């Protein structure tokens, strides 16, 4: 379901994952700053390619370093996940799963990243966190029902939700050595 027939623009994100000191599997998400079309939303670090990027994985790694201060040297790319089109903003997002070594402290990009969250994969797998609601979509002049994960007071929805949903059982099944 896309709300626009406009051409899709390329983008890439890193899906950072690691095991914490207790062995808990965690995904790293960012909460965008309160501006722009995705203001305040939960997402993965990433964005549009720049001319200096040799590939989409380079885009994801560069954007991750810019947005949260995680250098490429702290990331081992494990897989290229299926590309996900956005419904409203006309992007085709290529996600890259990366095992990371988290820093002692995240360095969120001022004005662009409001918060870095380290979310338990088991939390996301809990059916109690998975729900749906109707949201007003101005371009459709209608309410549209969207599923999402509740992460604290936030919603993980849209393209990020569609990246995470099929990934959870694969992570819990230890498909990759993390």
Report domain extents, the chain: 9-172
Convert the pLDDT of each residue in 51-89 to its tens digit.
999 999 999 999 999 999 999 999 999 999 999 998 777
| Encoded tokens for 28 | 């790293």
Which residues of 38-108 form beta strands (DSSP E)?
A: 42-43, 46-47, 75-80, 84-85, 91-100
Q: Does domain 9-172 have CATH number 3.40.50.620?
A: no
Give 99's contacts (C-beta < 8 A, 6+ positions apart): 17, 18, 75, 76, 78, 176, 177, 178
Convert the pLDDT of each residue in 128-162 to its tens digit.
999 999 988 777 788 888 899 999 999 999 999 99
CB atoms under 10 Å from CB of 85, counted, come to 15
Convert the pLDDT of each residue in 30-52 to its tens digit.
998 765 545 558 999 999 999 99
- Distance between CA atoms of 151 and 57, rounded to whole angstroms? 27
């Amino acid at each position: 379901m896309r709300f626009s027939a406009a051409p899709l623009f390329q983008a890439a994100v890193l899906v950072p994952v690691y095991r914490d000191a207790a062995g808990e599997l965690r995904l790293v998400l960012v909460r965008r700053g309160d501006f722009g079309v995705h203001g305040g939303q939960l997402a993965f670090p990433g964005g549009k390619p720049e001319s200096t990027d040799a590939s989409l994985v380079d885009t994801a790694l560069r954007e991750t370093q810019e947005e949260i201060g995680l250098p490429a040297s702290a990331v081992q790319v494990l897989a290229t996940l299926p590309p996900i089109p956005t419904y409203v903003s006309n992007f085709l997002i290529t996600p890259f799963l990366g095992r990371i070594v988290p820093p002692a402290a995240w360095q969120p990009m001022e004005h662009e990243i409001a918060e870095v969250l380290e979310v338990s994969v088991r939390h996301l797998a809990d059916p109690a966190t998975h729900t749906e609601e109707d949201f007003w979509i101005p371009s459709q002049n209608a309410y549209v029902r969207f599923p999402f994960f509740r992460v604290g007071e936030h919603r993980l929805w849209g393209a990020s939700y569609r990246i995470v949903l099929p990934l959870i059982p694969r992570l819990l099944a230890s498909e990759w050595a993390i």
